[in-house]
A and B are shown apart, each in its own frame.
Chain A
Amino acid sequence: MATAVAEASVGAGLRASLTRNRRWALIASYASLIVFVIFFLFPPYYMLITSLKTNKEIAELSTNPWIIEKGITFQHYFSLLMDTGFPIYFRNTIIVTICVVAITMVVSILAAYALSRLKFWGAGVLATGVFLTYLVPDSLLFIPLFEIVGALGLLDTYWVLVLVYPTLTVPFCTWIMIGYFSSIPKELDEAALIDGANHMQMLIKVFVPVALPGIIAAMIFAFTVSWASFLYPLAYIFTEDQMVLTVGTVTTLIKGDVFHWGGLMAGALLAAAPPVIIYAFLMDYYIAGLTSGATKG
């Protein structure tokens, strides 16, 4: 193209100026990255520092709050794990999250396949409807849901979260999957249909493997939502052995007008660990899946 011609004719002078521009761009980039990383990481850093201070130092006003001056203590972590329901909350959160992710994926993959490939009557309207669901905030739903939850006998069990979290995850995940499935060439289905596959086989053998990055992205999304959700457990769970991490950490460690800051921060950091690990390993899929869902939807 034009590039080759231009490069040949202009030659070394241009390359030098490009290098100079590149150097400035690099400096500017690193400078802004450092600023951003400080902005993004100073709160978690402070949480970590606080979680390692003694109660006395946390209550102290004369010391530098950003460093530990009076000795590191792991007391807050120990008492969180030994004396509180934290391990139970952790277990419950894991159970809830696994169930929600599984339900979400089954429901949204099935629906996305039907909506993107099986053009039945009302499919278009339904796709729009799924989209609109995303607009209904949980703060509107949680009060009427009390009665449904109560009628099902699920109030104050973590299974209620398995029931209601999909309302937060399914619409978006279906949307990601519709985007992904639409990007799969139609020739693939045709080939599979010639081979005599039915729709279920085609979905499992052809679509799922091809759309794996999208599926992983949707799973991470569902995971994040059900791991971090606050309002539903706040409203529906009140027994210690049914509690999940977000609400449990707050309610265990704030007693009346007494805040156990060290423990709160320790709890927040421990609660954040599983998502951090998952993102660290699967982020590339997440990015690929989300963006293709968003751009190709």
Chain B
Amino acid sequence: MATTIAIDASGDGTLTQRSAFWLFMRRKSTIGVLMVLPLLAIIAGLVAYPAGYSMFLSTLNKAETKFVGFANYLFLFKRETFWMVVQQSIIFALVAVVGKAFIGFVAAHAVNTIPTKGQRKWRGMMLIPWVIPPALSTLGWWWLFEPTYSAINWVLAEIGVDAIPWLSDTFWARFSVILVNIWIGAPFFLIMYLAALKSIPEELYEAAAIDGANAWQRLYHITLPMMRNIIAITVLFSIIVTFANFDIVRVLTQGGPRDSTHLFATYAFRVGIESNDIPLGASVSLFMFPVLAVLAFLILRNVRKRAMEL
């Protein structure tokens, strides 16, 4: 940085070192502000303002005619269904992300092990779920689960297993929405981990093999530490997206049976739009923030730490 300034200043002989420095700083910051202006406009106008407006809405009564403060939140605290939504959102996000991370990790390992020649083909096939628009692929899943026509149950019947109530039983419905989420999201983990695996120097493994390390030891002492960063980042990002999921539950179960599969977003839609209680819907949505804020803190700490490492 210092060199840059010196060079720039020396290029302009009529100015003193000092005033040239300030001029340069001003120019640089002006340009900087101009360059981020579009971003600022998008964030301020289309995210911050509506988010603030949502917060305002959440403080009104149902007819939006009266300020009620925190009454909507206090109301939610007393509702059994709301706590079920909180519980289900957390279960959904955690189980789905762990599932995605696990499948992604194992699949990435498997692809990395086979000869390079065939890797693209396998990788390409496994990426397909990630590429189909989720709202549409979820419809396909729904048709697989549909109680009367379920093609999965047809297979189970062929091998003599009882039909599984995929969407009608609370346990299986929760299982199903998580399964579909894993199906859609795991390929993303796969490619992230695959790239990370490729960046681990081969010599590390060779050295470990010579030292007599078995496969588990190599995994534990080399692979996992080398991939720590990327695992952390993908998991945290995925939790954010999974937590806010809307499409899958909306298409697959609409929150049923007995509200057991509702997530924050679908429940907010149910009370806000469908029951015409927009302030309450906004309050439900805003409940995602505390959880997400914790995640944001973790990610930011992580990012900063890595920035310092650089």
Contacts and interface: CB of A to CB of B under 8 A. Distances in A.
Interface of A: 1-3, 6-7, 10, 14, 18, 21, 25-26, 28-30, 32-33, 36-37, 39-41, 43-44, 46-47, 50, 61, 64-66, 106-108, 110-111, 113-115, 118-121, 123, 126, 128-141, 143-145, 147-148, 163-164, 166-167, 170-171, 174, 182, 189-190, 193-194, 199-200, 224, 227-228, 230-231, 245-247, 249-250, 261, 264-265, 267-268, 271-272, 275-276, 279-280, 283, 286-288, 290-291, 294-297
Contacts of B140: 43-44, 46-47, 50, 265, 268
Contacts of A1: 203, 207
A64 B296 CA distance: 49
A43 B4 contact: no
- Give the dominant DSSP class at A's interface: helix
Nearest to B135: A230
A120 B28 contact: yes
Contacts of A295: 196, 199, 229-230, 233, 306
A197 B228 CA distance: 40
Interface in B107-142: 107, 109-111, 113-114, 122-129, 131-137, 139-141
Interface stretch (B75-83, B166-174, B252-260, B278-286): B278-286
A143 B137 contact: no
A2 B282 CA distance: 62
B35 A111 contact: yes
Interface in B34-55: 35-36, 38-40, 42-43, 45-47, 49-51, 53-54
B133 A228 contact: yes
Contacts of A30: 110, 114
20 contacts: A1-B207, A2-B207, A3-B203, A6-B207, A33-B126, A40-B126, A46-B140, A65-B154, A108-B39, A123-B32, A138-B246, A139-B244, A143-B54, A143-B282, A144-B50, A144-B57, A145-B50, A170-B39, A230-B134, A295-B229
Given A37-B126, A65-B154, A6 B210 contact: yes
A120 to B, nearest CB: 4
Contacts of A41: 125, 128
Nearest to B303: A297
Contacts of A140: 50-51, 54, 268, 282, 285-286, 288
B19 interface: no
B194 interface: yes
A107 B36 CA distance: 8
Contacts of A280: 124
B132 A268 contact: yes
B36 A44 contact: no
A40 B187 contact: yes
Given A115-B32, A148-B46, 7 more contacts: A108-B39, A141-B47, A141-B54, A193-B8, A275-B132, A276-B131, A295-B233
B95 interface: no
A283 B124 contact: yes
B15 interface: no
A211 B236 CA distance: 25
B43 A130 contact: yes
A191 to B, nearest CB: 11
B310 A120 contact: no
B191 A227 contact: no
Contacts of B40: 126
B222 to A, nearest CB: 14
Nearest to A24: B215
B280 to A, nearest CB: 12
B295 interface: yes
